[in-house]
Amino acid sequence: MGKSKSIFRVQTSNYVPHGFGGKRGILEKYIRFSNGLFLRCSYWYNLRWNYDLEAELNPRNQSFVVTLLLIIAAVAMVVMAVQRESDTQDSLTINEIARDIKAGKVARVVIEDNNNLRVIYKDGKDGNTTDGAESYKETDSTLVNQLLALGVTPEQLSVDNVEIEVKPPSQWAGVLGGALYILPVLFMAGVLWFIFRQAQGSNNAAMSFGKSRARMFSGEHPTVTFQDVAGVEESKQELAEVVEFLKEPQKFIQLGARIPKGVLLVGPPGTGKTLLAKAVSGEAGVPFFSISGSEFVEMFVGVGASRVRDLFDQAKRHSPCIVFVDEIDAVGRQRGAGLGGSHDEREQTLNQMLVEMDGFDTDTNVIIIAATNRPDILDPALLRPGRFDRRVTLDRPDMKGREAILKVHVKGKPLEPSVDLASLARGTPGFVGADLENLVNEGAILAARRNKKSIGQPELEEAIERVVMGPERKSRLISDEEKRIIAYHEAGHAVVMNAIPEADPVQKITIVGRGQAGGLTWYRPEDDRILTSRKKMIASLAGLLGGRVAEELVFDDITSGAANDIERVTQVARMMVTRMGMSSEMGLMTYGQKEELIFLGREISEQRDYSEAIAEKIDSEVRRMVDDAYKLTKRLLTKYRDRLDAVAQKLLEVETLTREEFEAIFPPPSPKKSGTPQVIAMGT
C-alpha cells in the first residue's frame, strides 16, 4: 500500500453549545473499510460543517468503490420498493375517504405532490391518528370530481364541513420519482460494466505474460551508496569505473574507450553482491532495474524471451540506467546439457539475452550487472568479451573487512562503551556480511531479552556462539552417567587440540546441548588463513578423534556420540589422499572426476578414472592416515590423563569453560604455531 490515502474528512467548527460549562465535547471515529481508503468522522458539537474530500484512488480501490456503489444502489432499490409496498398496504382508498366525508368524520384533506392525499380526521377514530392517513387519487381528474362521482354532495364538500388544501409539488418529488426508474437502469449498467472490466482485466493479464517484471528504482533519492558497503574495497574500486562512465560517458567515448557492457559479481552467498549493485546505482544516480533470473521463465513457451526483450526495451528508454539480474545461473547455465534436451525454454531465454547484449550501441549507456555464486556452470558465450566481460569477485572478508562491516551494521544501535568491534572481528573468521548482520541483530535481541537499554560485549559474544552453534538447550534432561560421558568426550577434544602446537586454540568447551549436539568444543584460528598445511590437517584429524579415544580410555567402551567426528575424519583423510596430493604413497595425482547435472547443480556421482588396484591403495592410505591420527590421539591422552580428568570434573561442576578457565587447568605444553610451512635453511 502506498503512502497516498483517500480520506473522507468531516469536521465542524469550534462552536460550543450552551449548557456544557464551556467544555468542548470531542468524539472521533476512525472507520477503515479498504486498502488506503479511510473514513474519518470528527464531529464536535456545532452548527456549521466543513467538508473536505481528498480522493486519490488506486485501481484496486476504484474497484472497491464501484462495488460499494452497486451495493448501495441495490439496497436503496429494495428499501424504496418495500417502503412503497408498505405505504400502499397501509393507505386508504378513495372510496373510504368518500364514505368518511359523507359521515362527517373528515376535517381536512391535504393534496401533496398532485396525487398524494393526507386525510385528517376530526376525532381520530377508526384506527386513524390525528396526524392523518395516507391515500392516493387518480391522476386524470381532480379530487372534487372523483368525490362527487362517488356520491359526495357539494354541501358535504363545503368549507364548513371539509377543508381541502393543495400544497405545491416539492422539488425533490420529481427527482425521487425519477430515481425509482433510473436506479434499476444504473444498477444493470454497473453490473455490465463490472463484468466487462473483469473480462478486460483477465485479457490484459493473459497478454502481460510477456512483460518484464523488473522492479524499477529511481536514482533521485538513493537509499544505498558505497558508504553502506564495507569489507569489499577492491570490488568497489572495480565498480567505480562503471559509476564514472554513467556520470561522464563522453570522457570515455572521446578516447574511443568501451566500457564493459556487463559486470558479473561472483561470490559466496551473503557477501553483498546485491547490495553492491544497488550501491552502484545509488552512486551514479540513475534508474535501477532489478529482476531475478527465475522470473524470466514460466510454463508458457516463449515467455522468457519476451520478458528479456521487454526488459531491455525499458532499459533503453530510461538510458542511462543499470539492469541487475540476480541469480543469473537460473537462465544462464550451459546450453545443451539439460535433462530435457538441448532445446528448452531456458535456452531460448539465454539466447535472447545474448542477442540483446550484443545489440547495445556504444551510446546506449545501459550496463548489465549480474550476480551468481555458481560461475562454473554459466555458458561460455555469456562470459566472453562484449557481454559479461568483467568479473568482480566478492570473497569472504578478512579481519579488517569484518570490522568495517560491523561498524556499518551497528550504526543507529545503542552500544556500550566497552564493546570491542576489533575483538568481535577477530573471533568471526569465515563470516560474511549476512552473518555479521545476523550477529548484531542477535545481540540486540539478547539485550532486549535481558531488559537492557544498550548492547554489550557479552551479548555480542554470545550471539557469535548462537550463529555458529545454535541456541543452548538447557531444558533437556540427561542422566548423570550420560552427562559424565559427554564431559569426558568434550574434554578429550580440548586436551588433544591444546597439546598439539599446530592445532587451533580452544575457545570454549560446554556440555550444554546446542542444536543436535549434546556438547561442543569450539576452537578457532587466531588469524585468517588461505592455505592449510598438512601438519595442521593431521592435527585436525587427531582433535576430531579425541572424544572417541577419551571414551575408550575412561569407560572401556564406546558410544554413538563420535559418529559425526568419524564422518568428518574420513572425509578429510580421503580429500588429502585423492584431491590434495598429501599422501606419499599415492603421489601427486588427483583421483576421480566429479560429475554433476548442469541444471541440477549438484554432484550426483564420481567417475572413477582409476583401476580397482588403485582403489584398494586409496582405501589403504586413507585407513593408514586415520590410524596414525588415532595413535597420536591415544598417546597424547594417555600422557595427559590427569589433565583430562581435571577438565572433565570441572565441566561437570560448571558445564561451560572459557579459554582462560581451560588454560588455567591445562596450560599449552608448547607455544601455538600458525601451521604455515616455514622456510628451511640451506646447508653449506
Please check whether residue 132 is in contact with residue 187, taking contact to mean a CB–CB distance below 8 angstroms: no
State the average pLDDT over residues 333-351: 66
Grid coordinates in use for 162?
Answer: 371539509
> 578: buried, middle or exposed (CB in 10 Å: 19+, 13-18, 0-12)?
buried
For residues 596 and 604, give the distance between their C-alpha atoms in angstroms, rounded to a whole number: 5
Say if residue 79's pLDDT is above 80.
Answer: no
For 60-69, 140-149, 206-215, 225-234, which range has the lowest pLDDT when averaged over its residues?
A: 206-215
Residue at 677: amino acid letter: P
CA-CA distance, 103 to 159, in Å (whole number)?
Answer: 16
The residue among 345 and 631 whose pLDDT is bigger is 631
Whole-number pLDDT of residue 15: 32
Q: Which element (helix H / strand E) includes 510?
A: strand 506-510
Residue 548, φ and ψ in degrees, nearest 5: -65, -45
More confident site: 547 or 595: 547
- Taking alpha carbons only, the member of 324, 232, 317 closest to residue 281 is 324
Higher-confidence residue of 633 and 516: namely 633
Per-residue pLDDT at 125 exceeds 80: no
User: Could you list the active site residues?
Assistant: 490
Burial of 684 (0-12, 13-18, 19+ CB in 10 A): exposed
CA angle 403, 407, 411 (to 5 degrees): 165
Residues 598-651 pLDDT 10s: 444 445 456 677 888 999 999 999 999 999 999 999 999 999 999 999 999 999
Task: For 210-234, give one letter per residue: b (16+ CB within 10 A) or e.
Answer: bebebeebebeebebebebbbbbee
Given a contact cutoff of 8 angstroms between Cβ atoms, the answer to whether 440 and 431 are in contact is: no
Name 597's Cβ contacts closer than 8 Å, sequence gap at least 6.
Answer: 337, 339, 604
3-state secondary structure (DSSP) of residue 92: strand
Q: Name the 3-class secondary structure at 54.
A: strand
| Residue 197 CB-density burial (10 A; 0-12 exposed, 13-18 middle, 19+ buried) | middle
| More reliable by pLDDT, 430 or 33 | 430
Q: By C-alpha distance, which of 174, 288, 171 is closest to 223? A: 288
Distant-in-sequence, close-in-space partners of 615: CB < 8 Å, separation ≥ 6: 608
pLDDT at 297 over 80: no
CA distance 336 to 378: 12
Higher-pLDDT residue of 547, 178: 547
Q: Residue 129: pLDDT above 70?
A: no
Torsion of CA 574, 578, 581, 587, to 10 degrees: 120
Q: Can you say how many angstroms the Cα of residue 584 is from the centroid of all Cα atoms in its chain?
A: 52
Task: Determine the 3-state secondary structure of 100 from DSSP.
Answer: helix
Q: What order do you get walking across the sheet with 288-292 strand by strand?
A: 215-217, 288-292, 321-326, 366-372, 262-266, 390-393
DSSP string, 223-282: S--GGG--S-HHHHHHHHHHHHHHH-HHHHHTTT----SEEEEE-STTSSHHHHHHHHHH
Under DSSP, the state recorded for 679 is P
The residues with which 92 forms a beta bridge, in sequence order, are: 135
Judged by average pLDDT, the poorest of 567-581, 621-635, 638-652, 660-674 is: 660-674
Which 3 state secondary structure label does DSSP give 120?
Answer: strand
- Give the list of residues 6+ apart from residue 352 with CB closer than 8 angstroms, or none: 304, 305, 308, 309
Q: Which amino acid is at 585?
A: E
CB half-sphere exposure, 633, CA atoms < 13 A: 30
Contact 373, 266 (CB under 8 A): yes
The predicted-structure confidence for 270-289, as pLDDT tens digits, reads as follows: 888 888 888 888 888 888 88
**In the predicted model, what is the mean pLDDT of residues 82-110?**
70
> Does residue 203 carry a pLDDT above 60?
no
Residue 673 has pLDDT above 90, yes or no: no
List C-alpha distances in Å: 629 to 558, 565, 590.
18, 13, 23
- At 65, is the pLDDT very low, low, confident or very high (cuts 50, 70, 90)? low
Report d(CA 402, CA 226) in Å as an integer: 16
CA angle 83, 88, 89 (to 5 degrees): 100
- Determine the Cα–Cα distance for residues 89 and 69; give it in Å rounded to an integer: 30
Question: Does 28 have pLDDT greater than 50?
Answer: no
248 burial level (CB within 10 Å; 0-12, 13-18, 19+): exposed
Question: Cβ atoms within 10 A of the Cβ of 557, count?
Answer: 8
Predicted pLDDT of residue 90: 53
Q: Is-contact 613 585, C-beta < 8 A?
A: no
Who's near 608: CB < 8 A, 6+ residues apart?
592, 615
The three three-digit cell numbers of residue 488, written as one number: 569426558
Which tens digits make up the pLDDT trace of 133-148?
Answer: 777 677 777 777 777 7
Q: Which helix (H) or strand (E) holds 181?
A: helix 171-207
Residue 497 pLDDT: 93
Beta strands 106-112 and 163-166, pairing class: parallel
Q: How far apart are CA 181 and CA 81, in angstroms?
A: 11
End-to-end CA distance of the chain: 81
Highest mean pLDDT among 136-145, 376-385, 428-437: 428-437
Which residue has 607455544 as its cell numbers?
A: 671
Q: Which of 4-8, 131-135, 480-484 has the highest mean pLDDT?
A: 480-484
Statement: residue 34 has pLDDT above 60: no
The pLDDT of residue 650? 93
Are the CB atoms for 387 and 344 separated by under 8 Å? no
- Bridge partner residues of 487 (DSSP): none
pLDDT, residue 554, reads 93
| Among 473, 564, 546, CA closest to 510 | 473
Range of weakest confidence among 84-88, 126-130, 357-361, 612-616:
126-130
Task: Please provide the average confidence, as pLDDT, over all residues in the chain.
Answer: 76
**pLDDT, mean of residues 115-121:** 77
